[in-house]
Structure 1
Amino acid sequence: MSTAKLPNFIIAGAPKAGTSAIFQYLSEHPEVCGSSIKETRFFIREYSGKRETDIMAYSRYFARCQNSNNQILMEASPGYLVNGRKIAERIKTLLGDCKLLFVLRDPVDRIYSYYHFRLANGVLPKGLKFEEYLEFCQRYNETGQLVFEGYDFQGTHLLGALRMGNYAHYLSQYFDVLGEQNIKILFFEDFKKDNRHFLQHLCQYLGIEPTFYDSYQFDTVNVTKYAKYQSLHRFALYINKTLENYLRHRPKLKKPIRQLYQRLNFRRQQGYSKMSPDTRRWLQNYYAESKTHLQELVGHDIPWEC
């Protein structure tokens, strides 16, 4: 029987809620060993149900952790959230009492950020308006439609972004399978307000030393920016993905490369235009019932309005 070390902590959601930054900051803690790439997506793409096969396959992402004394082994695959019970059961079967973190963000802001992130990376079609995108997402939710006039979303998960914001629906399934004791829910808004306190609080939950972050320098990670040259940006994304195993745990090397590239190919303008009030109201109404259920699930108020 294999004795390979597997993670005891997973950041399992949500996309565009600070998970890349949190993974990076935690990876630099001396008591934590992060996976060779941030998003292994193992329980989505590779899990077979054959225990020894899965242990060998999953442990490859933690090869650098096998001879370490790190208290926490972790990965971060925010796409796990929307897969609900299926992923929860797979995690329980293979890892037992693994702790999961879900970082949640105002679903209205999250989908707007996701839209711009995918647009900036050239994944969503150039010129696709946000309101059009929401309409396609809604039609996909209702009918499963993936092809629209002038747009083909087959082979992608881009249209699931709207329903992903119904957090309570998916989280209740994780609670049912893994139990409340193994799930931590935190909020992006708190992370953005005071990332140092956020990380120290998370350290206390994980049972590792929080004072590591007393003088830690928090660099921005995975912020949406629009490129001057899309073809160059697509190539840069490919290189980043190809070399992630090497660069992920060498931040002193990666940081100057990233800064140089940003100066060369990112526009000076930061941020993006505000969402129209009508669209924001529509989304708030769409998510209102889910927010109520989420408050019941976590037992306290949520830091956003719906």
Structure 2
Amino acid sequence: MNKVIPNLIIIGAMKSGTSSLHNYLNLHPNIQMSTLKELDFFILEKNWNQGLDWYSNQFPINKEVKIFGESSPNYTKHHLFAGIPQRMASISPDAKLIYILRDPINRILSHYFHQFVDHQEQRSLIDALQDDKNNNYINTSRYYFQIDKFLSTYKIDQILFLTLEELDKNRNQTLQKIFNFLGVDSSFEHPAFNKTYHRSSAKRRLTDLGYSISKLPSGLRFCNLFPTVFQSKVGYPVVDEQLLIYLKSILSEDVEKLRCLTGLSFLDWSL
């Protein structure tokens, strides 16, 4: 049996609509996205050692399918995981890549909020962003810095740049653009294109006691039965003017390089 090697890879960015995009594309009759999202196969520290058979088995064979794809936002975290473009090109050099982006500052806020709710981040927003030298939040929003690592192994016309803003505002037109890029029927529409995934600005966070209990067998289920006891509401982080100026000063050069590379204006962004 022939191995299925994906010819579409959504490489990021984290908290920029990759889950929604993965699900939209999977609705198309000629596109088969991996059953599990975020395979992280090309990351040495994660699933590279699982081997090609493991990777191939994530894609059920369907003779009608023209495009097999996966979505792993960690592929554009070069500051954490090196060598991804080279491993990717060694397996699927002709793949088409999609890099979906978001206003860099809004993406940072969503990233921080996600980590804070999951108890992976205990610091305040200001403290978490204070060190800009290998800062995970900031570097993940340096989109030119990230995509530049792929340009030695993939041609620029193999990469489609999108934004979460255009996917939200012009959903059907944006999906048509993607379908044209992939060479599948661009007239395809589906009622589920109106759905969004994994987005919320109001969430509940486990209390310290709840988090400790959640680590026990069936602990999380127990905590979810008593949300008023083991969970608390948390508000979405707010950027004050001083922090906004600081982030713009750090990110503006990268955004300008991205504009020059792609020819896109990113007018919906704050910098």
Query: Which residue in the other structure is 1:80 paired with?
Result: 75
What is the correspondence of 1:126-275 to structure 2 with a 5 Å cutoff? 128-135=123-130, 137-138=131-132, 141=134, 159-213=135-189, 215-224=191-200, 225-227=202-204, 229=206, 231=210, 272=236, 274-275=238-239
Shift of 1:32: 1.2
**Equivalent residue of 2:204, what SS?**
coil
- CA distance in structure 1 between the partners assigned to 2:238 and 2:174 by the alignment: 27
Shift of 1:55: 2.4
Q: Is the 8 A contact 1:32 1:72 kept in 2?
A: yes
- CA distance in structure 1 between the partners assigned to 2:259 and 2:82 by the alignment: 20
Are 2:88 and 1:91 aligned? yes
Deviations 1:40-99, CA, capped at 9 Å, x for gaps: 000002325xxxx8321211211xx22442111110001101228721111111112001
- CA distance in structure 2 between the partners assigned to 1:10 and 1:27 by the alignment: 13
Deviations 1:148-186, CA, capped at 9 Å, x for gaps: xxxxxxxxxxx5121121111221221221111211111
Q: Residues 297 and 217 of structure 1: is their aligned pair in 2 closer, same or farther, counting only changes over 3 Å?
A: closer
- % of aligned pairs identical? 25
Q: Residues 85 and 270 of structure 1: is their aligned pair in 2 closer, same or farther, counting only changes over 3 Å?
A: closer
User: What are structure 1's unaligned runs of at least 5 residues?
Assistant: 142-158, 240-260
Between the two proteins, the alignment pairs up a number of residues equal to 255
- CA distance in structure 2 between the partners assigned to 1:36 and 1:214 by the alignment: 19
Q: Is the 8 A contact 1:101 1:185 kept in 2?
A: yes
Q: Which has the higher helix share?
A: 1
Return the letter of the residue paired with 1:121.
D
Query: How large is the RMSD of aligned CA atoms in angstroms?
Result: 3.0
Q: Is the 8 A contact 2:29 2:64 kept in 1?
A: no
Q: Is the 8 A contact 1:167 1:290 kept in 2?
A: yes
Q: Residues 164 and 273 of structure 1: is their aligned pair in 2 closer, same or farther, counting only changes over 3 Å?
A: closer
What is the correspondence of 1:48-127 to structure 2 with a 5 Å cutoff? 48=49, 54-62=51-59, 65-83=60-78, 86-125=83-122
**Equivalent residue of 1:92, what SS?**
helix
- CA distance in structure 2 between the partners assigned to 1:217 and 1:110 by the alignment: 22
**4+ long deviations beyond 6 Å:** none
Are 2:11 and 1:46 aligned? no
User: What are structure 2's unaligned runs of at least 5 residues?
Assistant: 219-223
- CA distance in structure 2 between the partners assigned to 1:18 and 1:29 by the alignment: 18
Shift of 1:109: 0.9
- CA distance in structure 2 between the partners assigned to 1:81 and 1:5 by the alignment: 23
